Amino acid sequence: MNAYCEARPVLFQPTERADISRLLTCEGEEQQALFQAARAARQAAGMDAVKLRGVIELSNYCQKTCDYCAIRPQNKEMIRYRMDVDTILAITAEIVAEGITTVFLQSGQDPKSDAMVLEAIRRIRQADVNVLLNLGEKSRATYARYVEAGADSYILKFETSDPVLYQNIVGTPLAKRLECARWIQDVGMKLGTGNIIGLPGQTLDTLVDDILLAQELQPDFVSSSPFIPNENTPLEHLGVGDLQLTLNSIAICRLLFPHALIPAVSALEKIKKGGQLMGLNAGANVLTINFTPKDFRDKYAIYSKERFVVSLDHAHATIAAAGLRPRQVANPVEVVSSYN
């Protein structure tokens, strides 16, 4: 029996720790078989059409002290900004004009932007697009207010399933983050979650636990992203996360969550040209296009100062190269007037 035949039974149901562990590190023919199985699972679930999101990075103020992230408050080199509602709406109009139907609001954990974000959500919803948030840990009541305003989904990555590692690197308890993830689901939003691959002290076992934790949370979206060293952070001298481990993790997630939205994150492209195409080929089905204006974008340095900024052209070229299509988009419309 060749490696592919031997691998086959577990490829489609990697439920045991040992299976997940082996698939995370597989190479060569077995890795190709894993990716092929992931693509087949995506197709069988009717999830081949690539979802496009338009992200607006609305504030780089942050309370959290994550060792991997340059927008941590200890980074005094960082010039801080917080957008106003009009700026967000002007950018939303650009997103909607491209026919993209998910407006993705991301920021540092910045309680001072909450009132503004609520107003922005209400007004973005007038254009009849979905609002996806990634704003960090909030109270249950705040999450509920986002829903009332019209948000329908929220990404809160657990980053790592190891509580000691999480506490050491992020500075707050993992249990708190997981409680927030439950609240997000309780108040009626779809949940996105995931890990970072390449944090110091992480082992293969930690990465298996990450996948098992994702299974426990039953998210609607799940991601694996390689670690990117950021300037002016305690982890700035570390190497980037491992590309192959990340791709394998994406493929395993596709097998375990066939119906999920799984992004090929920009960090993949940052560590390797063509990395996002590799992500789509491993089973991902989301690309996020950056609509943050350059002046702000340069200050939102979560993936290092020279991060890879995903443009619409790059996204379409990547989707075509993967032999896929973008998910049916709305008719591009003139929306600016609807905000008046």
If the CB atoms of residues 234 and 326 are measured against ligand SAH, the closer one turns out to be 234
Q: Which of 120, 196, 222, 335 binds ligand SAH (CB under 6 A)?
A: 196
Count CA atoms within 13 Å of residue 170 on its CB side: 22
Instruction: Please report whether residue 290 would count as binding ligand SAH according to CB under 6 A.
Output: no
Q: CA distances (Å), 30 to each of 17, 123, 224, 310, 330, in order?
A: 17, 49, 20, 31, 39
Tell whether residue 101 is among the known ligand binding residues.
no
Nearer of residues 159 and 209 to ligand SAH, judged by Cβ: 159
Contact flag: residue 249 with ligand SAH (CB under 6 A): no
For residues 250 and 283, the answer to whether their CB atoms sit within 8 Å is yes
Binding mask 105-144 for ligand SAH (x = CB under 6 A): -x-xx------------------------xxx--------
Select the residue interacting with ligand SAH from 227, 257, 291, 308 (CB under 6 A): 227
Q: For ligand SAH, which residue of 230, 248, 266, 290 counts as binding (CB under 6 A)?
A: 230
Spatial CA neighbour of 306 closest among 282, 270, 264, 257: 270
- Interface with ligand SAH (CB under 6 A), residue from 39, 157, 254, 307: 157
Distance CA 96, CA 164 (A): 42
Give the number of residues in contact with ligand SAH, rule: CB under 6 A: 20
228 near ligand SAH (CB under 6 A):
yes
197 touches ligand SAH by CB under 6 A: no
Instruction: Output the CA torsion sign for 93, 97, 102, 107.
Output: negative
Binding status of residue 267 toward ligand SAH by CB under 6 A: yes
Task: Indicate the residue whose CB is closest to ligand SAH.
Answer: 136
Residue 138's SS3 state is coil
Cα 234 from Cα 2, distance rounded (Å): 46
Identify whether the C-beta of residue 56 lies closer than 8 Å to the C-beta of residue 291: yes
Q: How far is the CB of 79 from ligand SAH (least distance, A)?
A: 18
Is 279 one of the binding residues for ligand SAH (CB under 6 A)? no
- Choose which of 214, 302, 310, 319 interacts with ligand SAH (CB under 6 A): 302
Q: How far is the CB of 283 from ligand SAH (least distance, A)?
A: 19
Q: How many whole angstroms separate alpha carbon 49 and alpha carbon 313? A: 17
Q: Are 98 and 128 in contact (CB under 8 A)?
A: no
In order, the DSSP letters of 46-93 are: T--SBEEEEEEEEE---S---TT-TTSTT-TTPPP-B--HHHHHHHHH
Q: Is 86 exposed, middle or buried (0-12, 13-18, 19+ CB in 10 A)?
A: exposed
Q: Alpha carbon 42 to chain centroid distance?
A: 18
Q: Is residue 63 a contact point for ligand SAH (CB under 6 A)?
A: no
| CA–CA gap between residue 265 and residue 112 (Å, rounded) | 28
**Between 37 and 207, CB nearer to ligand SAH:** 207
> With respect to ligand SAH, which residue has the nearer C-beta, 127 or 213?
213
Q: Confirm whether residue 26 is marked as ligand binding.
A: no
Per-residue mark of binding to ligand SAH, 4-43 (x: CB under 6 A)? ----------------------------------------
Bridge partners, residue 193, by sequence: 222
Binding site residues for [4Fe-4S] cluster, as ranges? 62, 66, 69
The residues that touch ligand SAH, with contacts defined as CB under 6 A, are: 64, 68-69, 106, 108-109, 134-136, 156-157, 159, 196, 225, 227-228, 230, 267, 302-303
